[in-house]
Structure 1
Amino acid sequence: MGVRDRVEQLTRELVLMGSSNHEKGFLERLTFVESYMADLGASVRRFGSSEHPALAGLFGDAKSGGDKGSGVVLCGHLDTVPVGGGWSRAQGELVGGRVYGRGACDMLGGCAAMLLAAENSLETSFVLCFTTDEETKMVGAESLVKTGLLSGAKLVVVGEPTNLCVCAGERGVYHLRITTRGRSAHAATPEEGENAVSKMVVLLGELEALKRGLEGERVVLGVNVVRGGVKVNVIPDTCVAEVDIRFSAPNTPEKIFCLVRERLDRAGVGYELETMQALPAVSTSLEHPLVAKLVEHVHRETGKSPVGEVPYATECAKYVCLNKPMVILGPGNPKLAHKPDEYVEVSELVDAVELYTWIIEWLGNQDSG
């Protein structure tokens, strides 16, 4: 069986593992990948909690911490968002050179390509990492960093979908929850109560003004959840809004928080502000010697040019503390992620296997330092 048939088959298998039970799918995939890497002779270690397990497969000198260090660390995630509705294709269906299914693009196809690349490079020093909560908490990536097993890496490659363009950065994420409090009363006598929704409307007006003021600053702000009130004839005593903010460096979560608080304080109404999630923006210079060589190779082999930044967050935000050059490079169109009829082109999967194999061989056969 050739590379095309194998990567196609492996991608479909990984997709189908979660098609009937989303809550258990990532665990089935984790056990499968754990055995797969062990059968290749890797030293496979499981980390994290039972709720957020993660795997590291160490190959070659990486198993013993030898002179060649860890070479490259290739990172993927085995969890997906729920399948949802609106599909016209079956999970795992192969049509027109495309594998359809939840996670085919984001990013089970990339994981399949990494595993096949590992088969091509069994004597080389490198590490494969797989997590199971990238779509939620990213606790698995944190646990991998804490092990110290990735400290010898020369380069970190996260295989999220980029159409196989080298991406050297990503936007940061800041999720905020705003709560306003009031006092319930009958809607016929509003003077007896205090309307929490009315307070929130004032605050949301300030956020809209802030959003307009940030245009051109590479900051995207959206109020995407609002909850308030229990019945139309009752004055609401609580209202909650959840805000998604994406930002580029040199902005930081701390700076974004201060901007929001300063703006909300102008409203003159009471509120509570809570941080739900904060991930930093990540950036590696395209002129870094390793990144520049990778960009040159990818362009020569595929014709693809680099992208300075992707708009979404990845586990690079957790690996950034390693102080290693990082890129995002994977098969699939990121605009298809989380949508019905998500798919990945088999031809891109084949190219990904070849690119990952080259990266492993290039960095894994160099002496450390």
Structure 2
Amino acid sequence: MALTAIEQKVLDSLDEDGLLASVRELLRLPSRTGQEAEAQHWLARRMRDFGLSVDEWTIDVAELRRQASFPGMEVDRSEREAVGLVGTWQGGSEAGRRLIFNGHIDVVPEGDRTQWTHDPWGGEQEGDLIYGRGACDMKGGLIAALYAIKAIKDSGVALPGSLMLQSVIGEEDGGLGTFASLMRGHSGDAAIVCEPTDLDVVPAQAGALTFLVHVSGKSAHACMRLEGVSAVEKYLDIHLALLQLERVRNSDVTHPLLGKFDLPYPLNIGRVQAGNWSSSVPDELLFEGRIGVAMGESCQAVREQFEQTLHTLAETDPWLRDHPLTVTWTGGQFESGEIPHDHPLVQSCAGCIQEVTGHAPTIKGITAGTDLRQLVNLGQIPALLLGPGDVRVAHMPDEHVRVSELLTAARTYILIALRFLQANP
């Protein structure tokens, strides 16, 4: 499908220099999860400068946590401002379809700065690369969507319907911002989540749950080790049982997109802490981890299978039978989420990418949890992931995004928006 004169006019209206400058400026504002307020206020000002209708509000986290569908979180927000932000551009007519662009402004901590060769908060550009924490995941995609909306507005093209940009907080630890936006009534007929996908189309994401397990032992002097019960030794059997659980859960995955992965639903132990003295038998061990949620599987079913695995092991061990393991489900609780890989939104977005880049994108699934599942499952909004950047460099030292991909993403978003709004419902 060739570009129309109107589409070409809007593409020519894209402020490329402004887009790149804004990405770099936003990267200079540290917005670690739980500390996003300054960046949200900056983006709200930018939205207003561009003529968008802006809803900027203080999220009542305590109230939302009382909701049964609350997605969970890890950071303590009791003394931190939680800012919701949605900017809307209304086309020439209030009638028509509503398209959402959704992106999270929170980023993970920068980690050991000595491993960075570029300032994680510098927004430095070197050739085709812009460096900084969040460049890939996902301030680049967020700003590309903003400038796509700006280009449509600046072009003067009258369109039915509206475009919305949801800048959300707390995605990295559960999805507070998208949940708050949905609870506030911000909805649409379709959504593009601007996560880094290498500009491939992702209509399916697995889920993930995080857990904390407490293992009890019995302390004794190391010289009389047999008088105690080592929580570390008990954990070794637990770890083997969980590896077997992972094998069972990944033994026969037939999903057309997730089944292509070697390990679509990983079970990972991320942290283990035990004992309090090198010459004492450890009487306590805590381990934390993450278990994948299969496509279409309920979070409750995963929790029950995990806990039953531990219970079955404990029944074979006299010590663990009398000193039960305790399991706490902590942090973000990500369901799986998907729309059919042949959904009209998927096909339309794939066609727009091919129009802009000259080649067809891959339609794929991912094994990580995202806000897609809230838009689809809770909001009943068809949604997919599509954005600039390689997720393999996200959360890493020298995180970066390509200038060329940022511009391609913005052009793609423009085309998607124009064709979605002009199409018949």
TM norm structure 1: 0.90
- Tell me which amino acid in the other structure corresponds to 1:76: G
Tell me what 1:67 maps to. Answer: 95
Rate the CA distance shift 1:120–1:135 in 2: closer, same or farther, 3 A: same
1:357 aligns with 2:394: no
1:221 aligns with 2:258: no
Tell me what 1:274 maps to. Answer: 328
- Tell me which amino acid in the other structure corresponds to 2:303: F
Rate the CA distance shift 1:149–1:61 in 2: closer, same or farther, 3 A: farther
How many angstroms does 1:357 deviate by?
A: 1.4
1:298 aligns with 2:353: yes
Tell me what 1:93 maps to. Answer: 124
**For structure 1, which segment, 186-195 or 233-242, has the greater mean C-alpha deviation from structure 2 after superposition?**
186-195
Within the candidate set 143, 157, 173, 1:136 is matched to 173
Tell me what 2:65 maps to. Answer: none
Rate the CA distance shift 1:23–1:220 in 2: closer, same or farther, 3 A: closer
Tell me what 2:213 maps to. Answer: 178
Within the candidate set 47, 60, 70, 1:37 is matched to 47
How many angstroms does 1:365 deviate by?
A: 4.1
- SS of the aligned residue for 2:222 comes to coil
Within the candidate set 65, 79, 85, 1:55 is matched to 85
User: Runs of 5+ in structure 2 lacking a partner?
Assistant: 1-12, 61-79, 254-263, 315-319
TM norm structure 2: 0.79
Tell me what 1:210 maps to. Answer: 245
- SS of the aligned residue for 2:348 comes to helix
Rate the CA distance shift 1:96–1:245 in 2: closer, same or farther, 3 A: same
Within the candidate set 121, 131, 137, 1:106 is matched to 137
Tell me what 2:344 maps to. Answer: 289
Contact 2:33 2:173 (8 Å CA) reproduced: no
Within the candidate set 105, 109, 112, 1:78 is matched to 105
Contact 2:37 2:82 (8 Å CA) reproduced: no
Contact 1:172 1:252 (8 Å CA) reproduced: no
Within the candidate set 26, 47, 61, 2:36 is matched to 26
Partners of 2:244 and 2:40 lie apart in 1 by 45
How many angstroms does 1:253 deviate by?
A: 1.9
Tell me what 1:255 maps to. Answer: 301
- SS of the aligned residue for 2:363 comes to coil
- Tell me which amino acid in the other structure corresponds to 2:95: D
- Tell me which amino acid in the other structure corresponds to 2:189: K
Partners of 1:174 and 1:254 lie apart in 2 by 10
Rate the CA distance shift 1:2–1:324 in 2: closer, same or farther, 3 A: closer
**For structure 1, which segment, 101-110 or 211-220, has the greater mean C-alpha deviation from structure 2 after superposition?**
211-220
- SS of the aligned residue for 2:364 comes to coil
Partners of 1:121 and 1:327 lie apart in 2 by 21
Partners of 1:166 and 1:245 lie apart in 2 by 25
Within the candidate set 230, 234, 259, 1:195 is matched to 230
- SS of the aligned residue for 2:221 comes to coil
Rate the CA distance shift 1:22–1:266 in 2: closer, same or farther, 3 A: closer
Aligned residues: 361
RMSD of the alignment, in Å?
2.3
Rate the CA distance shift 1:120–1:107 in 2: closer, same or farther, 3 A: same
Rate the CA distance shift 1:169–1:23 in 2: closer, same or farther, 3 A: closer
**For structure 1, which segment, 230-239 or 182-191, has the greater mean C-alpha deviation from structure 2 after superposition?**
182-191
Rate the CA distance shift 1:82–1:304 in 2: closer, same or farther, 3 A: farther
How many angstroms does 1:297 deviate by?
A: 2.0
- Per-residue CA deviations over 1:267-315 (Å, capped at 9, x if unaligned) read 2222111212321111111211232122122123221423221222211
- Tell me which amino acid in the other structure corresponds to 1:222: N
- Per-residue CA deviations over 1:183-226 (Å, capped at 9, x if unaligned) read 33323334554432222222112112222333434321111111
**For structure 1, which segment, 239-248 or 104-113, has the greater mean C-alpha deviation from structure 2 after superposition?**
239-248
Tell me what 1:11 maps to. Answer: 23
How many angstroms does 1:146 deviate by?
A: 0.5
Partners of 2:355 and 2:294 lie apart in 1 by 29
Q: How do residues 160-179 of structure 1 correspond to structure 2 at under 5 angstroms?
A: 160-179=195-214
How many angstroms does 1:134 deviate by?
A: 1.3
Partners of 1:154 and 1:144 lie apart in 2 by 15
Within the candidate set 314, 318, 330, 2:374 is matched to 318
Partners of 2:312 and 2:137 lie apart in 1 by 41
Rate the CA distance shift 1:118–1:10 in 2: closer, same or farther, 3 A: same
